[in-house]
Structure 1
Amino acid sequence: HGPPGTGKTRTLAEFVAKAVARGERVLACAASNAAVDNLAERLVERGLVVVRLGHPARVSPAVEAHGLDAQVAASDDYALARGWIAEAHALRLTLDKRWRRRAISYAERRAGFAEVRRLLRDARAHLAGLKDAIVARAQVVCATAAGADSDLLAEAEFDWVALDEATQAVDPIALVALLRAPRAVLAGDPCQLPPTVIDPRAAAAGLGRSFFERLAEAAPCASRLLTVEYRMPRELLGFPSAQHYGGRLEADPSVAERRLSDLGVLPDPLRPEPWCFLDTAGKGWDETRLGDDPSLCNPEQAARVAAEVERLLARGLPASEVGVICAYSAQVRLLRERLARWVSEGLEISSVDGFQGREKEAVVVDLVRSNPEARVGFLQDTRRTNVALTRARRFLLVVGDSATLAPHPYYAALLAAADAAGAYLSAWADDAPPFADAEG
């Protein structure tokens, strides 16, 4: 069980390396291509013989050379298959050309195309043999959990399955991978994003609860919590640790005192570090829907968030080190328009899902919701908020409406934590940020 910043993927990679050192073979999987690539990259760094299955278009550049197709193309024997394919295409063109001229008989044409088919069949068989050989000599095969059912692995045997981001895989997908070996190790965090389940009936029937959670509940002795995190200072860690992990997490000394000033960023006395909550209550910045877009946005709050981002950038922080996380996709689109110039320079604006497993030096979280009825929608799933609050390495700014949020215990606790830390700010008290010129 790996909470944010505790290095669960690194730990899983080390486990795989130890298994390989014992002469064991591992199938390393995750629910998403990005997570598979991240794990594969760490395995390659450890000098393991890795092959990454999957379409080349879905494989990241960092591990592209370790993809199956890339390894086939780099093989000395690949030229033989290419020669047969080229010969087949050349013969087909010649046959077509001569047939149009009526220079060959029907029987000769049939015989020629039979030769074309033989050449292509031999090439396919040769390539299949190359792929089988590459997979067979790999110490670790990396694939998505769904991809573990590939025909390429039909005869493959493994001692272990290592499943990363296991809490994001629905049971049927997780089991595709887990059934490929007699032993398995799973890494994930049930306090972060759950599996994506579209059908509410399936969710109600339990499909949204991962195999990882079921296993941890049925056999708690098989679960280990990583308790030291290496991402954020202790003040940023305090609230997530208390709310989601029983207060058991601690910041490693190497990060416990992290601040933006360590990077040479100008100080801002009106924005306490390492985190603060900017309260928009009473501003009348109500959530809305634009046109036919079913997603919610908050244009006036988006304007304030944009100003806060520019305030950060004006202090000397590179755009590529700042992330903006929005609770709703319509707000993401609004902010990308408002901050288009900075997006082109590396500023990242995304939904909570887009930031899972990611981190930035500074993060601005826009909670969006503001309405008289105190409706918070899927912010009720505090696992999503946990992800948003744990992406920053040095500075976190949360923007939200306390009047909408405070009736809900989790957000009331967040506001209380901000107040206790001297990190509570009102948007009323600071309508004219001094860092107005982000080019300065």
Structure 2
Amino acid sequence: MARENGLQKSLFALLAEAHPEAIVTLQYQYRMNKDIMTISNTLIYDNKLKCASKSVAQRQLDLPHFQQALDSIHGGASCTKQSCWIEQILDPSRKVVFLDTDKMSATEERIMETVVNKAEASIVLQLAEALLLAGVPEERLAVISVYRSQLRLISQSLRGRPGVEIATIDKYQGRDKECVLVSLVRSNETGKTGELLRDWRRINVAFTRAKSKIIIIGSSTTLSTTALFGIFLELMRTNNWIYQLHLGAENEHTIQPPPSPREKRNREHKTHSPAEAILKNRPILRDVYNSSSL
């Protein structure tokens, strides 16, 4: 509808086209480390973007409880620590990771007019919980996707983590987090990516919200059918930033997220016996009850 009425361009874009002499190109940025900045530099800024300082360029995700998190997620897990994909992905030295789902059973699903990818949602849940267990505060972690239906699916899994921000790319303009997980969703035999993944201003926003680490999840085969994602994937290969997930990876860890605040209240309420409710705030009656129980 907006496109039909001539609103496909923002007011800022129209002003920039009308008065190019008034535009000053951003050169120094204070948000992203060098690896994350390289994505935007390659796709959008023609390598003109620079880190404002050495500390910004070398920024790295702090995981103070990394080993404890690994011990926790491997209780009853079918994978071993020696070959654990979560351990390799969480490695703080890996600041940009593209998780390729091509070898998994991770085909998108259509529900009415919406598109979801349950395998990607499972991967996001496991990574999010592992990051939180490793010491990333909830308020410093975000999950982003172009599809609201995918975010609703992920929100259900992470309902016990109210501090984790789960939002569309459009809502994340101008904001940032230490670590960002991006679910691209589209994975099909015909290579259809949809209109949303062709909007590179929108995709650039998604890829530049992270300060220390970004994990992008998607199908390289499907995404490579678009020209700019082809460039993106080549950048990932050149820098050895692609991690190929194997078949069944989403089922190797049995990670149980904490209950939501409402679920927690309900569980606590159910643990109280009728006697506890009667004896509450009645110390004399409680003494009599305890004496009769001896």
TM range (shorter): 0.7 to 0.9
Corresponding residue number in structure 1 for 2:152: 333
Q: 1:284 aligns with which of 77, 80, 105?
A: 105
Q: 1:259 aligns with which of 60, 81, 85?
A: 60
Question: CA separation in 1, counterparts of 2:189 and 2:145?
Answer: 20
Corresponding residue number in structure 2 for 1:414: 232
Question: CA separation in 1, counterparts of 2:18 and 2:166?
Answer: 39
How many angstroms does 1:436 deviate by?
4.9
Corresponding residue number in structure 2 for 1:230: 30
Tell me which moved more, 268-277 or 318-327: 268-277
Question: CA separation in 2, counterparts of 1:224 and 1:339?
Answer: 41
CA contact (8 A) 1:314 1:435 kept: no
How many angstroms does 1:347 deviate by?
0.8
Question: CA separation in 1, counterparts of 2:156 and 2:3?
Answer: 33
* Gapped regions of structure 1 (runs ≥ 5): 1-197
Structure-1-length-normalised TM-score: 0.50
How many angstroms does 1:429 deviate by?
7.5
How many angstroms does 1:434 deviate by?
7.3
Corresponding residue number in structure 1 for 2:217: 399
Tell me which moved more, 248-257 or 279-288: 279-288
List per-residue Cα deviations over 1:78-105 (Å, max 9, x = no partner).
Answer: xxxxxxxxxxxxxxxxxxxxxxxxxxxx
Q: 1:218 aligns with which of 1, 18, 33?
A: 18
Corresponding residue number in structure 2 for 1:367: 184
CA contact (8 A) 1:302 1:334 kept: yes
Q: Which has the larger radius of gyration?
A: 1
How has the CA–CA distance of structure 1 residues 321 and 433 changed in structure 2, closer, same or farther, with 3 Å as cutoff?
A: farther
Question: CA separation in 2, counterparts of 1:438 and 1:317?
Answer: 15
How has the CA–CA distance of structure 1 residues 430 and 312 changed in structure 2, closer, same or farther, with 3 Å as cutoff?
A: farther
How has the CA–CA distance of structure 1 residues 419 and 269 changed in structure 2, closer, same or farther, with 3 Å as cutoff?
A: farther
Following TM superposition, where does structure 1 have runs of at least 4 consecutive aligned residues deviating by more than 4 angstroms?
A: 432-439
Q: Over the residues paired in the alignment, what is the CA RMSD in angstroms?
A: 2.3
Listed as ranges, the matches of 1:11-410 within 5 Å are: 198-202=1-5, 206-253=6-53, 254-261=55-62, 264=64, 266=66, 270-271=88-89, 273-290=94-111, 292=112, 294-342=113-161, 344=162, 346-377=163-194, 378-410=196-228
Question: CA separation in 1, counterparts of 2:144 and 2:180?
Answer: 7
How many angstroms does 1:224 deviate by?
0.7
List per-residue Cα deviations over 1:325-357 (Å, max 9, x = no partner).
Answer: 012000010000011111x2x011111112111
Question: CA separation in 2, counterparts of 1:433 and 1:316?
Answer: 22
How has the CA–CA distance of structure 1 residues 229 and 369 changed in structure 2, closer, same or farther, with 3 Å as cutoff?
A: same
List per-residue Cα deviations over 1:267-323 (Å, max 9, x = no partner).
Answer: 775125211000001323221222x4x221111221122112112112111112110
* Gapped regions of structure 2 (runs ≥ 5): 68-85, 259-294
Question: CA separation in 1, counterparts of 2:116 and 2:175?
Answer: 23
List per-residue Cα deviations over 1:224-246 (Å, max 9, x = no partner).
Answer: 11210000101100111121112
CA contact (8 A) 1:315 1:435 kept: no
Quick one: higher RCO (CA 8 Å, sep 6+), 1 or 2?
2
Corresponding residue SS for 1:341: coil
Number of equivalent positions: 234
How has the CA–CA distance of structure 1 residues 384 and 391 changed in structure 2, closer, same or farther, with 3 Å as cutoff?
A: same
Structure-2-length-normalised TM-score: 0.73
List per-residue Cα deviations over 1:60-86 (Å, max 9, x = no partner).
Answer: xxxxxxxxxxxxxxxxxxxxxxxxxxx
Question: CA separation in 2, counterparts of 1:435 and 1:316?
Answer: 19
Question: CA separation in 1, counterparts of 2:218 and 2:52?
Answer: 30
How has the CA–CA distance of structure 1 residues 337 and 435 changed in structure 2, closer, same or farther, with 3 Å as cutoff?
A: closer
How many angstroms does 1:438 deviate by?
7.0
